[in-house]
Chain A
Amino acid sequence: MLLSRVLEEKLGSLYRAGGRIVGGVYLGKGQEAFSAALGVQLRKGKDVYAPLIRDQAGRIAFGEPIIDTVRTYLGAVTGPMRGRDGNIHRGRPKEGHMAMISHLGSMLAVASGALFARRLAGRLGDSVGATSIGDGGTSTGAFHEGLNMAAVEKLPMIVSVANNQYAYSTPNTRQYACENLVDRALGYGVEGVTVDATDLASCLKAFRAAVARARAGGGPQMVVGTLLRLSGHGEHDDASYIPDKARQGPNARDCLQVAEEFACAHGWMTPAEVRELHEEVRRTVDQTVSKVSKEPTPDPYKENWQALSCAELVEGQYKA
C-alpha cells in the first residue's frame, strides 16, 4: 500500500513536471487497501489477475515489480509494453497478469477464459481468477455478459467492485438505480459482500473469504468496496465536482492512514518506524525512477512494426 502510494505520488509529480510522461497518469489513491487486499490473496504464476485503472497496490501485492510500472509510464523499451502501450495498460499475461484494454468491463471475460482453458486442460487445480471494476464500469454490457458467463460456467472468479462513488465526474445516481451494487450479485446467481474499503483489515477478511469460497467450488464471488476516489480521475483532473460533504464523509478516510494507525495501535509498529518506512520506500521509488530514466526510449527504426506473431503473414507493403 505504502509503496503504491509513494510510487504514484512520484508519477504524479513527474506528470506535473512535464516532459517525461506523455499522456495521462491515473492514480489509485484511497483505494490501496481494497486493491492490495485482493492482490495479496493471489499467487503470481498460479492465479489469474486482471487489474484495472486503480490497482497499482494490487499489482504490487500480486508480485509486479514497480520497475514495470515506471518503465511502462516512461515508455521504456525495457518494460513489458516496450513503449507500445503505456501507463495502466500493462501486464504480463503469461505470468497471469492480464494487460487491461481501456474499454471498461472487457477484462472479466478474458480472465474467465484463462480459467476455462485451465479447467479444460485439467490443470485448474486450486487457481482462481480475479478482476476489478469501478462503479461506472458495472454499467457496461461487457461486465454484465462477463459476470453472467463466469456464473454460468461456475468459474472460481473474484470480481472486485471499487465503488468510489464517481465514474470520472458522474455520480452513482446517474450510473445505476439499485440500492446497493452488491444487490446485483443475486441477479447473476453469485455470492456478494460489501466491505468498508477504507479499512484494510475488513478488506483482507472479505477477500480471503471470497477466494476460499471460489476455490471450494462456490463460483464467482463479488466483493463491493465502499470508498471515495481521493484523486482526480487522472492527474489532469482536479475533481472539483466532488462536493465537500463527500470529501469529509466516512468514505473519504485515507485507507493508508487508517492502516498505519491500526498497526501502531496494535503495537506492531511505532510512529517512528512508520516514518522510517516511508523514507525507505521513497528511496526505492526514486532509485527505480532514476534507473529507468537512463534507459532507452523506443527507436522507431528498431521497432519491427509487426502486429502479427506470424511474421510471414505480415503484408509486405505495410512492413516498416
Chain B
Amino acid sequence: MSITYLEAIREAQYEALRSDPSVFLYGQDIATFGGAFKATKNLSREFPDRVFDAPISEDAMIGMAVGAAVEGARPIVEMQFADFSSIGFNQIINQAATLYWRTNVPCPITIRMPSGGTAGSGPFHSQSMEAIYAHYPGLVIVTPATVEDAYWMLLDSVEINDPVVFCEHKFLYYHLKADRIGDRELPIGKARIARPGRHATIVTYSAMVHEALRAAEELQLDGYQIEVVDLRSVKPMDTDTILASVARTGRLLALGEAFPWGGVTAEIIARVTTEGFHLLDAPPMRLNSKDTPIPYHPNLWKAHRPTTATIAAALRTLLRH
C-alpha cells in the first residue's frame, strides 16, 4: 500500500469533512467528477450535502467562502489551477485577508491552489502564486513538499482560524509517494531539515525541495554535504531554522520555482543578510525561474525553471567562494 501526494490531499479533505460538520467544499467540477485532478474523488458521494460544483466564477467563489466563514463555516475552495486565482484575487487579498484585522471576526477559509509547472502546461496552467499572496498581510501561505505535509498541513489549514492559501504542487501529485502517512510532526510555521549537511544550505520549498535533494546527492559525490531546508510554509517563514542552518554551513542558496523578481527567495536572502550577515562565508545566491512567462514547449520549460543540473552548478559556484 502506498499513497500519493494527491491522494493525501484527498484523504485530508475526507478527514476534514468527516471530523468537522462546518467544513464544506466548493470548486469547479469537484462534485461528481471529483475535480480536474481528482483531488476530491468520491467525496461528493460520501458527503453529498457538503461538496458542490461551482460556476466558473472565482471571484464569487472566494467571496462566498468569506461570507460563509463569518457564519461559522470552514470552507475549502478549490481553484482549478492556481493561475485562475488571479480572478479571485480581489476577494482573497481585500476581503479574506483584511476581515479579521478590520472587524475582529476571523476568516477560516482554505484556498487550494494546484500550483507550479508541469511539461506542456504553458503560461496559464503553471504558475506559482505563493509570493503574490504572501505579500499581503492577513494570509497564511503553505507550500507542502511531502505526502505527509500535504495531508497534515491541509488539515492544519482547515483548523487555522485565518485564511490559508494552500499551494499544492501539480508536479508532485502522482510522482510523489509514501508508504503511509506518518504522524503529524511539525506545525505550520516550522521548517524542516530535509537533509543535514555542513558545507552549504539550500533553502527552498514545494517541488524544488526534491530537485535540491537530487542536487545535494550529486554534490555528495564531490565530497560536499549540502543541507536542505524545506520551508513548508513560506508565510510564516521560519527564520530561526534558516539562520541556524546558515550558522552551520556559512553558505546559502535560496531556491524557488517562481519568477525571479522579489518573492520568497528574495525574502530569504533579505532575512539572512539583515539578521545573520556575520554567519555568511560567501555572498548568498538565489536561483529562480527565468523572468518570462512560463513556456509551453518542454525544451523551453526545462530551461526556464531551476533543475537539478542548474542547482548543482549554482552550488559549485557558491562553494568556490
**Do residues A305 and B292 form an inter-chain contact, with CB atoms below 8 A?**
yes
Interface string of A1-45 (1 = CB under 8 A from B): 000000000000000000001111000000000000000000000
Specify the chain B residue showing the minimal Cβ separation from A176: B55
Contact of A83 among B87, B261, B300 (CB under 8 A): B300
Is A244 an interface residue when CB atoms closer than 8 A count as contact?
no
The distance from the CB of A14 to the nearest CB of chain B, in whole angstroms, is 13
Is A175 an interface residue when CB atoms closer than 8 A count as contact?
yes
**Do residues A318 and B260 form an inter-chain contact, with CB atoms below 8 A?**
yes
Contact of B33 among A142, A169, A175, A318 (CB under 8 A): A169
Q: How far is the CA of A21 from the CA of B298 in the complex (A)?
A: 10
Asked if A84 meets B291 with Cβ closer than 8 Å, knowing A141-B57, A169-B32, A241-B32, the reply is: no
Specify the chain B residue showing the minimal Cβ separation from A90: B296
The distance from the CB of A143 to the nearest CB of chain B, in whole angstroms, is 9
Q: Which residues of A contact B28 (CB under 8 A)?
A: 167-168, 170
Asked if A86 meets B296 with Cβ closer than 8 Å, knowing A23-B121, A318-B290, the reply is: yes
Q: Which residues of B contact A87 (CB under 8 A)?
A: 122, 296
Interface size on B, residues (CB 8 A): 40
B34-81 residues with Cβ-Cβ distance < 8 A to A are: 36, 52-57, 59-60, 81
**Do residues B56 and A140 form an inter-chain contact, with CB atoms below 8 A?**
yes
Interface string of B223-243 (1 = CB under 8 A from A): 000000000000000000000
Q: How far is the CA of A83 from the CA of B120 in the complex (A)?
A: 10
Q: Which residues of A contact B54 (CB under 8 A)?
A: 174
Q: Which residues of B contact A288 (CB under 8 A)?
A: none
**Do residues B296 and A104 form an inter-chain contact, with CB atoms below 8 A?**
no
Is B161 an interface residue when CB atoms closer than 8 A count as contact?
no
Q: How far is the CA of A81 from the CA of B300 in the complex (A)?
A: 12
Q: Which residues of A contact B33 (CB under 8 A)?
A: 168-170, 241
**Do residues A297 and B290 form an inter-chain contact, with CB atoms below 8 A?**
no
Q: How far is the CA of A22 from the CA of B86 in the complex (A)?
A: 25
Q: How far is the CA of A225 from the CA of B231 in the complex (A)?
A: 50
Asked if A101 meets B292 with Cβ closer than 8 Å, knowing A75-B297, A141-B87, A169-B32, the reply is: no
**Do residues B300 and A298 form an inter-chain contact, with CB atoms below 8 A?**
yes
Contact of B291 among A141, A176, A305 (CB under 8 A): A305
The distance from the CB of B93 to the nearest CB of chain A, in whole angstroms, is 16
Is B248 an interface residue when CB atoms closer than 8 A count as contact?
no
Q: How far is the CA of A16 from the CA of B124 in the complex (A)?
A: 23
Q: Which residues of A contact B290 (CB under 8 A)?
A: 305, 318, 320
**Do residues B29 and A169 form an inter-chain contact, with CB atoms below 8 A?**
yes
The distance from the CB of A234 to the nearest CB of chain B, in whole angstroms, is 10
The 4 closest A-B pairs by CB, nearest first: A23-B120, A300-B303, A22-B120, A169-B33
Interface pairs (8), CB distance under 8 Å: A89-B123, A140-B87, A141-B57, A168-B29, A170-B28, A170-B33, A303-B303, A305-B290
A residues adjacent to B (C-beta < 8 A): 21-24, 75, 81, 83-87, 89, 101-105, 136-137, 139-142, 167-170, 174-176, 241, 297-300, 303, 305-307, 314-315, 317-318, 320
Given contacts A102-B84, A103-B86, 19 further A-B contacts (CB under 8 A): A22-B119, A23-B121, A75-B296, A84-B300, A86-B120, A102-B125, A103-B124, A104-B56, A139-B55, A139-B56, A169-B53, A174-B55, A297-B297, A298-B300, A300-B300, A300-B303, A300-B304, A305-B290, A320-B290
